[in-house]
């Protein structure tokens, strides 16, 4: 006769879940679990029913995991799927035995397994790899009158930005404006001075502004020196902006538990996010998180607004650039 086991028969993952509850882990992590059923039948060999039961249970848990895998849509990484199935016990730690029976020399078990579907989806769905290249590419350099030969100045700035790790091909379009002021001879020296201002913009927003003074034996040389040094400084500032990193400013971040819930949701449920770290806390209650992964700010904002996490809603306030986003928690 079939035997229905009343109450859960816990694996190690379920004990971890219970411990998390005791320690006050956010309920969002629990709410992301979804039940899937699986069944397994194994013959009893040499009268060893205990070993057969273990194999049947493992087979049933793996079948439940396969049922969850079957519902994952989108481009799936085959190697990742294979790895998940090889470690089925790690993904099916919380399970309940629904039916267990022994007849005709076989052990048959049916289980219901709680699977963390968002985490599973993230593990399987392929995300485009963009590496850690600079975020920007130079689209244009606008050189004001008084700076000298425009093509020469423009080429020098592009070369400095590229060699300084500030720009690369296939990045977001960057526009650079150059203003030059010759300051004349420096009293009591044999030098001339010039002041340079470089302004870098992307999507109509200022990304960086550099003011620099240069000195040389003549006026053209002072401008050339100032341009090269200012471009090198600009390259250093642009190099901070890398593909795969988004500065996420969170308004109305309090209480702190919501921030931790947001971090967990990003790391466990959003495809393309690899790591989240807190980088700044403002006195007014807002914070800045650095999100590492394979999303730009626009894609991250869309993912956050579509995030299905109980007790956590995010709305985009402003897209501040390809790698900067502001949201509000509600």
What tokens does 324 get? 């900067």
243 CB contacts (<8 Å, ≥6 apart)?
Answer: 130, 131, 132, 133, 134, 135, 171, 296, 323
| Residue 80 shares a structural domain with residue 161 | no
Question: Residue 21 has what pLDDT?
Answer: 33
Beta carbons of 123 and 74 less than 8 angstroms apart? no
The tens digit of pLDDT for each residue in 54-107 reads 999 999 999 999 999 999 887 888 878 888 888 788 788 788 999 999 988 999
Q: Is the dihedral of CA 126, 130, 132, 136 positive or negative?
A: negative
Q: Is the per-residue pLDDT at 26 higher than 60?
A: no
User: 303 lies in a domain?
Assistant: yes
265: nearest Cα among 69, 76, 119: 119
| Residue 119 shares a structural domain with residue 176 | no
CATH number at residue 195: 3.30.160.150
Cα separation, 28 vs 200, in Å, equals: 41
Q: Which residue has better confidence, 192 or 1? A: 192
Question: Residue 18 has what pLDDT?
Answer: 35
Residue with tokens 């700010």: 297
| Residue 293 shares a structural domain with residue 311 | yes
Residues in the chain, how many? 330
Beta carbons of 244 and 131 less than 8 angstroms apart? yes
| Residue 203 shares a structural domain with residue 275 | no
| Residue 192 shares a structural domain with residue 265 | no
Beta carbons of 166 and 239 less than 8 angstroms apart? yes
Show which of 239, 262, 295 is a domain's final residue.
239
| Residue 18 shares a structural domain with residue 120 | yes
Question: Residue 32 has what pLDDT?
Answer: 64
Q: Is 322 helix (H, G, I), strand (E, B) or coil?
A: coil
| Residue 262 shares a structural domain with residue 281 | yes
Show which of 201, 218, 239 is a domain's final residue.
239
User: 2 lies in a domain?
Assistant: no
- DSSP readout, 231-270? HHHHHHHHHT-BTTEEEEEEES--SHHHHHHHHHHHHHHS
The tens digit of pLDDT for each residue in 257-301 reads 888 888 988 988 888 898 999 888 887 778 889 999 888 888 999
Phi, psi of 329 (to 5 degrees): -85, 135
| Residue 150 shares a structural domain with residue 235 | yes
Question: Residue 126 has what pLDDT?
Answer: 62
User: 5 lies in a domain?
Assistant: no
User: 228 lies in a domain?
Assistant: yes
Cα separation, 248 vs 243, in Å, equals: 14
CA 104 to chain CA centroid, Å, is 53
Which of the four pLDDT bands, split at 50, 70 and 90, describes residue 9? Answer: very low
183 CB contacts (<8 Å, ≥6 apart)?
Answer: 192, 193, 194, 195, 213, 222
User: 48 lies in a domain?
Assistant: yes
User: 56 lies in a domain?
Assistant: yes
| Residue 110 shares a structural domain with residue 152 | no
Find the mean pLDDT for residues 146-151.
Answer: 90
Helix (H) or strand (E) holding 307: none
Whole-structure pTM value: 0.57
User: 180 lies in a domain?
Assistant: yes
Question: Residue 140 has what pLDDT?
Answer: 95
| Residue 252 shares a structural domain with residue 234 | no
User: Phi-psi region for residue 134, left (φ > 0), alpha (ψ -120 to 50) or beta?
Assistant: beta
Q: How many domains does the chain have?
A: 3
User: 129 lies in a domain?
Assistant: no
Residue with tokens 């790591």: 275
Helices (H) and strands (E) in the chain, counts: 10, 12
The tens digit of pLDDT for each residue in 160-171 reads 888 778 898 888
The tens digit of pLDDT for each residue in 180-234 reads 999 999 998 888 899 999 999 998 888 899 999 988 878 888 898 888 889 888 9
CATH number at residue 107: 3.30.1660
The tens digit of pLDDT for each residue in 311-321 reads 788 889 988 88
What tokens does 179 get? 């203003």
Domain that holds residue 120: 12-124
Beta carbons of 62 and 85 less than 8 angstroms apart? yes
């Amino acid at each position: 006769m079939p035997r229905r086991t009343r109450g859960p028969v816990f694996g190690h993952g379920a004990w971890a879940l219970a411990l998390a509850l005791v320690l006050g882990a956010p309920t969002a992590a629990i709410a992301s679990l979804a039940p899937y059923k699986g069944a397994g039948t194994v013959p009893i060999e040499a009268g060893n029913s205990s070993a057969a039961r273990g194999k049947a249970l493992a087979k049933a848990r793996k079948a439940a995991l396969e049922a969850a895998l079957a519902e994952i849509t989108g481009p799936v990484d085959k190697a990742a799927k294979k790895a998940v199935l090889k470690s089925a016990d790690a993904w099916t730690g919380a399970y309940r035995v629904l039916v267990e029976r022994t007849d005709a020399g076989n052990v048959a078990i049916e289980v219901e397994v709680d699977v963390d579907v968002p985490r599973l989806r993230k593990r399987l769905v392929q995300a485009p790899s963009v590496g850690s290249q600079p975020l920007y590419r130079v689209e244009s350099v606008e050189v004001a009158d008084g700076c000298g030969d425009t093509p020469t100045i423009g080429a020098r700035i592009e070369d400095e930005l590229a060699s300084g790790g500030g720009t690369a091909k296939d990045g977001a379009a960057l526009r650079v404006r150059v203003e030059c002021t010759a300051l004349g001879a420096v009293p009591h020296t044999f030098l001339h001075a010039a002041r340079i201002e470089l302004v870098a913009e992307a999507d109509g927003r200022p990304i960086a502004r550099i003011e620099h003074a240069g000195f040389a034996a003549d006026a053209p040389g002072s401008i050339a020196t100032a341009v090269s040094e200012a471009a090198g400084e600009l390259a250093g500032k642009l190099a901070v902006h890398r593909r795969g990193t988004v500065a996420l400013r969170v308004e109305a971040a309090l209480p702190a538990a919501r921030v931790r819930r947001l971090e967990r949701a990003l790391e466990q449920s959003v495809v393309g996010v690899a790591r989240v770290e807190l980088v700044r806390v403002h006195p007014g209650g807002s914070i800045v998180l650095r999100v590492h992964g394979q999303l730009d700010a626009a894609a991250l904002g869309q993912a956050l607004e579509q995030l299905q996490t109980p007790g956590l809603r995010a709305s985009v306030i402003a897209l501040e650039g390809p790698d900067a986003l502001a949201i509000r928690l509600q």
